[in-house]
Amino acid sequence: MNLQKYMEMLKAHHIKITPQRLAIIALMDQYGHISVRDIFEKIKEKFPSLSLATVYKNINAMMENRFINELKIVGQDNKYELVKERHSHLICRKCGEIEDVFIDTKDLEMSLPSESGFLVEESSIQFFGLCKKCQS
């Protein structure tokens, strides 16, 4: 992806285009999942005037627009990712890496005991274990 693409994405969500926002989106796209702190530090290198408050405001705004998702993982800072096709996460307990994995959750949702009467709209799955690198 490139700047042009990010600009179109923002337009499609009726979010005003600013250099700060483009930088935030570019990082999310590049890293897949990234924390507020890391966004701030990485952008600051090239863009020293950036304020933390701006990062928070933009993240909150983009979450309200369903343009990005929040990811809460035990033992890690909250991460943010661009919204895309539904997926689950593989989380390495050793190095902390997060990988996306695309699996069908229909069967899983159907397998819920029906007596509770709970109506499932969406499921979120995190797999914890060891990534390929950390197994050696």
* Binding-site ranges for DNA (CB under 7 A): 15-21, 36-37, 47, 49-54, 56-58, 60-61, 77-78
Fill in the per-residue mask, 22 to 51: x = in contact with a second copy (CB under 8 A), - = not in contact. ------------------------------
Is residue 83 a contact point for a second copy (CB under 8 A)? Answer: no
**Partner interacting with residue 36 (select from a second copy, DNA, none; CB below 5-8 Å by kind):** DNA
Look at the block and give the residue holding tokens 């689950």: 88
Give the distance, in angstroms, between the CA of residue 44 and the centroid of all CA atoms in the same chain: 20
**Partner interacting with residue 27 (select from DNA, a second copy, none; CB below 5-8 Å by kind):** none
Compare residues 12 and 101 and give the one whose CB is closer to a second copy.
101
State how far the Cα of 81 lies from the Cα of 60, in Å rounded to an integer.
Answer: 13
Instruction: Enumerate the β-bridge partners of residue 89.
Output: 100, 126
Q: Quote the crossing angle between the two packed helices 19-31 and 3-12, to the nearest 10°.
A: 110
Sign of the torsion angle spanned by Cα atoms 82, 120, 89, 54: positive
Smallest gap, in angstroms, from Cβ of residue 108 to a second copy?
6
Instruction: Enumerate the β-bridge partners of residue 88.
Output: 101
Q: What residue ranges bind a second copy (CB under 8 A)?
A: 70, 72-74, 90, 92-93, 99, 101, 103-104, 107-109, 111-113, 116-132, 135
